[in-house]
């Protein structure tokens, strides 16, 4: 039997994305954004509000990075979601994390997060129902500790956080349940 739950954002899992950009003075700001998605082979869309400090920085600098948060840095990732760069100018410094300038775009790479997409601002889309920052992915860098012997990102090594919007929890990915574009093939033959 089904029960009506009303209007809730019932998508699971949601990524835990660390969006970083420099401000006009070169100060690093990072925000936690769960509402983001790949929207092309070289594009990512972030559904974030215009009033975020990070959004304003992206508009000014025209570049940003998006990192996957991991279990080891869950406290810092959560902090980036509850503290505002608009009211806490030393937000990034408080965490003790380290940033280096991307070799590909004018944006910071947070060294502790294992996978980072380095992006140029492609466009900002604003409608009555949507505000989206779209980035062109110029490069992806990864810590060697999360790569397999073929140089590919190994999900089991990543310990990437995922967000549960139902109960505001963080979970970790890792167990492979099947192979994409293969699990459904037997149904093609019916």
Res. 173: pLDDT tops 90: no
Q: What pLDDT is attached to residue 35?
A: 93
CATH number for position 82: 2.30.110.10
Asked whether residue 9 is domain-assigned, the answer is: no
pTM above 0.75, yes or no: yes
The answer to whether position 166 is within a domain reads: yes
The half-sphere exposure of 152 on its side-chain side, counting CA atoms within 13 A, is 4
Secondary structure class of 151 (helix, strand, coil): coil
Residue 47 in any domain: the answer is yes
From CA 86, how far away is CA 101, in angstroms rounded? Answer: 22
| Residue of 32, 61, 51, 53 whose CA lies nearest to 135 | 61
Chain segment 6-34, per-residue pLDDT in tens: 999 899 999 999 999 999 999 999 999 99
| Structural domain containing residue 102 | 14-188
The two most distant CA atoms of the chain are separated, in Å, by: 62
Pairing of strands 161-164, 36-40: unpaired
Residue 1 falls inside a structural domain: no
Report yes or no: 83 and 76 within 8 Å, Cβ to Cβ.
no
How are strands ordered across the β-sheet holding 28-33?
A: 28-33, 17-22, 63-68, 115-127, 130-142, 43-46, 36-40
- What count of other Cβ atoms lies within 10 Å of the Cβ of residue 137? 20
Contacts of 99 (CB under 8 A, 6+ apart): 20, 28, 92, 108, 109, 110, 111
At residue 149, does pLDDT exceed 90?
A: yes
Kindly state whether residue 22 falls inside one of the protein's structural domains.
yes
How many domains are contained in the chain?
1
**6 within domain boundaries:** no
Residues 56-110: pLDDT tens digits? 999 999 999 999 999 999 999 999 999 999 999 999 999 999 999 999 999 999 9
Please say whether the dihedral angle defined by the alpha carbons of residues 84, 86, 88 and 91, taken in this order, is positive or negative.
Answer: positive
CA distance 16 to 71: 11
In a domain, 179, yes or no: yes
Residue 3 lies in a domain: no
**Angstrom distance (rounded) from CA 21 to CA 81:** 15
Q: Is the pLDDT of residue 190 over 90?
A: no
């Amino acid at each position: 039997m089904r029960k009506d739950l009303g209007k809730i954002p019932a998508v699971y899992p949601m990524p835990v994305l660390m969006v970083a950009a420099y401000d006009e003075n070169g100060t690093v700001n990072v925000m936690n954004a769960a509402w983001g998605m790949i929207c092309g082979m070289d594009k990512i869309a972030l559904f974030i509000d215009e009033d975020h400090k990070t959004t304003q920085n992206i508009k000014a600098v025209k570049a940003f990075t998006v990192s996957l948060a991991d279990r080891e840095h869950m406290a810092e990732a959560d902090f980036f979601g509850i503290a505002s760069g608009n009211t806490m100018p030393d937000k990034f410094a408080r965490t003790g994390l380290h940033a280096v300038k991307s070799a590909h775009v004018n944006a910071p790479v947070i060294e502790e997060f294992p996978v980072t997409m380095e992006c140029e601002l492609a466009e900002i889309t604003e409608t009555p129902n949507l505000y989206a920052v779209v980035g062109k992915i110029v490069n992806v860098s990864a810590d060697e500790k999360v790569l397999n012997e073929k140089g590919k990102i190994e999900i089991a090594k990543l310990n990437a956080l995922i967000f549960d919007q139902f109960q505001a929890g963080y979970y970790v990915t890792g167990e492979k349940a099947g192979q994409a574009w293969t699990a459904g093939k037997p149904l093609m033959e019916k």
